[in-house]
Amino acid sequence: MFRGKYLMVLIAACGLAGAVLGLMVNVSGLFFTPIANDLGVGRGSVSLTLTISNLAFALGGMGCPRLVKSKNFKLMLLLSMLVFAGSTALLSAAPNLVLMYILNGLRGFAAGICGMVLITIMINNWFLESTSLVTSIAMAFSGLAGAVFSPVLSSIITSSGWRVGYLVDAALIALFELPAILLPIGYFPKDAGTTPYGKKASASSAPSEENQNGTASRFPLVLMVLLTCYAILASYVASYPPHFPGIADSYGFTAAVGSTLLSICMVANSGGKILFGALADKFGAQKIIMLFALLIGAGSLMLMLFHVPGLMYISAALFGLCYAIANVGTVTATRELAGRTLYNTVYPTVSMIATVANAFGSSLVGFMYDASGSYSSGLILASCLALVMMGLIFSCYVYKKKKA
Instruction: Write the CA distances from 400 to 125, 285, 333, 392, 396, integer angstroms.
Output: 25, 14, 12, 13, 6
| Rg of the Cα atoms in the chain | 20
Q: What is the mean pLDDT of residues 309-336?
A: 92
Measured distance CA(203)–CA(262) in Å, rounded: 43
Q: What is the mean pLDDT of residues 202-219?
A: 58
197 has which bridge partners? 127
Residue 217 has pLDDT above 70, yes or no: no
What local confidence, expressed as pLDDT, does residue 1 receive?
Answer: 65
The DSSP result for 181-215, as a single string, is HHSS--SSGGGGT---BTHHHHGGG---SGGGS--
Q: Is residue 218 part of a domain?
A: yes
Q: Helices in 115-130 by DSSP H: which ranges?
A: 116-126
Q: Is residue 205 part of a domain?
A: no
Amino acid code (one letter) for 336:
E
The DSSP result for 252-271, as a single string, is T--HHHHHHHHHHHHHHHHH
What local confidence, expressed as pLDDT, does residue 58 receive?
Answer: 86
127 has which bridge partners? 197
Residue span of the structural domain in which 396 resides:
4-198+210-403
Q: Which one, of 13, 180, 28, lies nearest residue 108 by Cα? A: 28
Q: Is residue 203 part of a domain?
A: no
pLDDT in tens, 34-68: 999 999 988 778 888 988 998 899 899 888 888 98
Q: Cβ-count burial of 95 within 10 angstroms (0-12 exposed, 13-18 middle, 19+ buried)?
A: exposed
Residue 101 has pLDDT above 90, yes or no: yes
Mean pLDDT across the chain? 88
What local confidence, expressed as pLDDT, does residue 129 receive?
Answer: 81
Residue 19 has pLDDT above 80, yes or no: yes
What local confidence, expressed as pLDDT, does residue 254 receive?
Answer: 82
Measured distance CA(359)–CA(376) in Å, rounded: 20
Read off the CATH number of the domain in which 129 is found.
Answer: 1.20.1250.20
Q: pLDDT tier at 270 (50, 70, 90 boundaries)?
A: confident
What local confidence, expressed as pLDDT, does residue 201 receive?
Answer: 47
What per-residue string of b and e applies to 269-300 under the rule 16 or more CB within 10 Å gives b? bbbbbbbbbebbbeeebbebbbbbbbbbbbbb
Q: Is residue 204 part of a domain?
A: no
pLDDT in tens, 363-391: 788 778 888 888 888 899 999 999 999 99
Residue 228 has pLDDT above 80, yes or no: yes
Phi-psi region of 284 (alpha: psi -120 to 50; beta: other; left: phi over 0): left
Q: Which one, of 178, 197, 263, 234, lies nearest residue 351 by Cα? A: 234
> Which region among 16-20, 53-57, 93-97, 389-393 has the lowest average model confidence (pLDDT)?
53-57
Q: pLDDT tier at 207 (50, 70, 90 boundaries)?
A: low
Q: Which residue has the higher pLDDT, 167 or 367?
A: 167
Q: Is residue 250 part of a domain?
A: yes
Residue 215 has pLDDT above 60, yes or no: no
> Which pairs with CB-CB distance under 8 Å and at least 24 residues apart come from 196-199?
196/125, 196/126, 196/127, 196/128, 197/2, 197/6, 197/126, 197/127, 197/128, 197/129, 197/130, 198/127, 198/128, 198/129, 198/130, 199/128
Q: Which residue has the higher pLDDT, 389 or 211?
A: 389
Q: Is residue 377 part of a domain?
A: yes
Q: Is residue 134 part of a domain?
A: yes
Q: pLDDT tier at 296 (50, 70, 90 boundaries)?
A: very high
What local confidence, expressed as pLDDT, does residue 15 receive?
Answer: 95
Handedness of CA 135, 121, 56, 228 (dihedral sign): negative
Which residues does 207 contact at the CB level (< 8 Å), separation at least 6? 124, 125, 188, 196, 340, 344
Residue 136 has pLDDT above 50, yes or no: yes
Q: pLDDT tier at 202 (50, 70, 90 boundaries)?
A: very low
Q: pLDDT tier at 319 (50, 70, 90 boundaries)?
A: very high
Q: Is residue 272 part of a domain?
A: yes
pLDDT in tens, 144-159: 887 788 889 989 999 9
What local confidence, expressed as pLDDT, does residue 145 receive?
Answer: 85
**Number of domains into which the chain is organized:** 1
- Number of CB atoms found within 10 A of residue 70's CB: 12
